[in-house]
């Protein structure tokens, strides 16, 4: 990768509603702007950021939800097979698609003037206009409530719904709500789920961010109890 710098709008860095992880992923994508496009694998991003691939997927979903990136499907050849590259990404630093070249395209290097030193390629990108954080649209709260109901429906313990609703709304400020619902569904389907009285309350599960948890450890099987006949045989 050519040495240089990545341009990231100040408002993305300063907006408290965008998680630090999502900002890090945006920076990692912006640093790859070039003629070949932006197409790092999730495994590559996870390795560079020293996080799990699950976290990378969550942050990519957050950036897509905010309109800061657009996923570009992998191209196929004439035989309908992929070219071996992961999905690509186009960056929209103002939170919505812009007309003109996107940040995933870099211009042809300009020839340096006499006496100048070529330090790298110039970045042909959408103008980075600093603007106020994007305000939530009126229907966003309705969408969050709808997803909360889905969460509560799939969560394996129905208790403390009022507290759960508050915890869900708080968690959804930094994590895509759909991702939380999917995490709850995975938890509910875990074959090693404990008995209901040992399952955490939904509000506690949400406050601890457990939608990113690994699968539960395998439950130890209870030792078989010997019956009366076995005891008699043993006594002999």
Taking CA atoms, 3 is separated from 34, 46, 193, in Å, by 12, 21, 49
8 Å CB contact between 235 and 229: no
pLDDT value for 126: 38
Ranges in the chain, pLDDT < 70: 1-4, 74-85, 96-140, 221-236
Separation of alpha carbons 178 and 123, rounded Å: 34
| pTM score, whole prediction | 0.43
Phi and psi for 90 in degrees, rounded to 5? -110, 135
- 3-state helix vs strand vs coil in the chain, percent to 5: 40, 5, 55
Backbone torsion region of residue 127, taken as left when φ is above 0, otherwise alpha when ψ lies between -120 and 50, otherwise beta: beta
pLDDT value, residue 8 = 84
Residue 76 gets which letter from DSSP?
Answer: B
């Amino acid at each position: 990768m050519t040495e240089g710098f990545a341009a990231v709008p100040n408002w993305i860095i300063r907006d408290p509603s965008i998680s630090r992880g999502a900002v890090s992923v945006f920076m990692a994508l912006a640093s790859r702007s070039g003629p070949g496009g932006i197409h790092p694998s999730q495994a590559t991003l996870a390795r560079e950021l020293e996080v799990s691939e699950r976290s990378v997927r969550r942050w990519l979903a957050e950036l897509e939800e905010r309109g800061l990136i657009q996923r570009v499907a992998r191209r196929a050849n004439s035989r309908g097979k992929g070219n071996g590259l992961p999905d690509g990404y186009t960056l929209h630093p103002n939170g919505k698609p812009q007309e003109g070249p996107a940040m995933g395209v870099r211009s042809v290097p300009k020839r340096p003037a006499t006496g100048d030193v070529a330090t790298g390629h110039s970045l042909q990108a959408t103008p980075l206009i600093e603007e106020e954080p994007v305000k939530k649209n009126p229907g966003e709260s309705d969408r969050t409530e709808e997803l909360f109901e889905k969460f509560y429906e799939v969560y394996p313990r129905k208790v403390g719904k009022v507290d759960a609703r508050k915890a869900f709304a708080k968690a959804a400020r930094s994590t895509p709500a759909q991702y939380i619902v999917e995490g709850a569904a995975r938890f509910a389907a875990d074959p090693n789920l404990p008995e209901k009285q040992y399952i955490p309350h939904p509000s506690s599960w949400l406050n601890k961010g457990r939608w990113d948890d690994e699968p539960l450890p395998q439950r130890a099987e209870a030792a078989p109890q010997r019956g009366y006949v076995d005891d008699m045989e043993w006594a002999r």
